Amino acid sequence: EREVRAFVPTEYWSITARCARADGMGPEFPARLLRVDGGKVRISSQAVAEALLAELEALREAFRVSALVKKQKRRNPVPPFTTSKLQQEAVRKLRFTARKTMQVAQQLYEGIDVGDAGSVGLITYMRTDSTRVSPEAQAEVRTLIAERYGAQFLPERPPVYKSGKGAQEAHEAIRPTSVLLEPAQIASHLTRDQLALYTLIWNRFVASQMRPALFDTTSVEIVAGRFGFRASGQHMTFPGFMQVYVEG
């Protein structure tokens, strides 16, 4: 509390240039000022920012690319849900409170009448800190991924996720009891809240068993006189698990 009360906020300004290729090809892109005279820049007042900006205005024709680096970046899928992660994501994506999330999850776990099959428990036990998935469930979801999305979305081996320290590995992660019970197929038997939460759990589980997403990333260093700017961007080349689910 003393540290909070003693904190003195400091003013900080940033300068971003709107850049484009000289030949007019390609989109406009932002580049942020990072260095002045080779050192890291810190703009502490409006007066300093305006002085630098006036100097930069005179260098409009001097901007040039000094370095360009391209790399491939992988974005790995997130594990299937644990209790805490389900509660967090339900807040972000569904605006559910933690209490409501657990109430609806309890209903899905205890069983829903889905027609001819009668009452079916749709998800595994919803109080767990484990990310473990049974081999049988992984085999089932791998078949679905290959058939629904294509073999290119299927990793060579089923992924294994590390649970938190002290996790009860007797339990599994929160997942559909059968991934073949797709949300759209049983939607008419569920309330709106039940369908929303079941869809979230289903999507997260399927995505957790898919290949990483791939991006081509580009980082550009730009110089203008004594000023150094940097721009970066990325382009998705393969959606991987993001075809199904992106964490909120």
Which residues, listed in sequence order, are joined to residue 135 by a DSSP beta bridge?
none
Catalytic residues, by residue number, are 125
List the structure tokens of 168: 């009860």
pLDDT tier for residue 26 given thresholds of 50, 70 and 90? confident
Query: Region 40-58: what's the mean pLDDT?
Result: 95
List the structure tokens of 67: 């370095």
Q: Which of 143, 173, 177, 146 is nearest to 161 (CA)?
A: 173
Inform me whether the pLDDT recorded for 168 exceeds 70: no
Q: Express each pLDDT in 182-224 by its tens digit.
A: 999 999 999 999 999 999 999 999 999 999 999 999 999 999 9
pLDDT tier for residue 169 given thresholds of 50, 70 and 90? low
pTM of structure:
0.80
Inform me whether the pLDDT recorded for 166 exceeds 80: no
Q: Name the phi and psi angles at 67, rounded to 5.
A: -160, 145
